[in-house]
Amino acid sequence: MSKPVEQRTWLVVPLYNEAQVVRSVIRSARETFPKIVCVDDGSSDDSAAEARAGGAVVVSHPINLGQGAALRTGLDYALGDPEADYFVTFDSDGQHRTEDALAMVRRLDSEPLDIVIGSRFLDDRTKLSPIKRLVLRAGVVFERMSSGVQLTDAHNGLRALNRHAAEAIVIDQNRMAHASEIVSEIGRNKLRWAESPVHVLYTDYSRSKGQSVWNSVNILSDLFLK
């Protein structure tokens, strides 16, 4: 009899200067997923130590390479576990919910799918600013035209992959362009995909760092400079 799906899953968590919250994020996530690898991407604060205190394995980049590079490093580490079947890309700042991740992994375990991607647009739980919503919608149109993959939310960082998808997807873009690259890789590798509704939590902490605004700028840069 196989182990529960939670024990066959690794959370892959890019980490950059989130010392204030990452310990609690990891502790909470480990109540569901015991296997978590954080890739500390050259943080200048105590992020790595805080992630370890929360119970994560920490792999470190000596300098900041970007989120795409952190994801590839984390996936490569987790793929080294022969008992791992599934891999979830998960934010370190508290915006993603483990219950959404678990629902996505369970779909991989029960349906003929290689990757499940979170979408903020399949229900109305995620509250987005008008500019964020506009940029994300523009990203969807662009990605549908460039990749042929008909997603509703092309830049959602919550993704669940099976081993085949995690091994097949090439991430060469180190920074924000990796999100578009992953969508293109889904099409190139003819991966079986689905979307799942997720509730992204834009907290006071994330807003205080200006993440919502800067992510919109990064997405625009991704679309026109990749």
For the stretch 63-116, pLDDT in tens is 999 999 999 999 999 999 999 999 999 999 999 999 999 999 999 999 999 999
Burial (Cβ within 10 Å: 0-12, 13-18, ≥19) of residue 153: buried
How far is 120 from 197, CA to CA, in rounded Å?
6
Does 205 or 57 have the greater pLDDT score?
57
For residue 40, pLDDT over 70 is answered with yes
| pTM across the whole model | 0.85
For the stretch 189-214, pLDDT in tens is 999 999 999 998 887 776 666 545 44
C-alpha angle 92/94/95, rounded to 5°? 105
For the stretch 114-163, pLDDT in tens is 999 999 887 777 665 556 555 655 555 555 655 567 788 878 899 999 99
Question: What domains lie within the chain, and their CATH numbers?
Answer: 5-225 (3.90.550.10)
For residue 45, pLDDT over 50 is answered with yes
Asked if residue 58 lies in contact with residue 82, where contact means CB atoms within 8 angstroms, the answer is no
pLDDT at 173: 75
- Spatial CA neighbour of 14 closest among 59, 80, 79: 59
DSSP structural state of residue 20: T
Q: How many H-runs (helices) and E-runs (strands) does the chain carry?
A: 9, 7
Amino acid type, 172: D
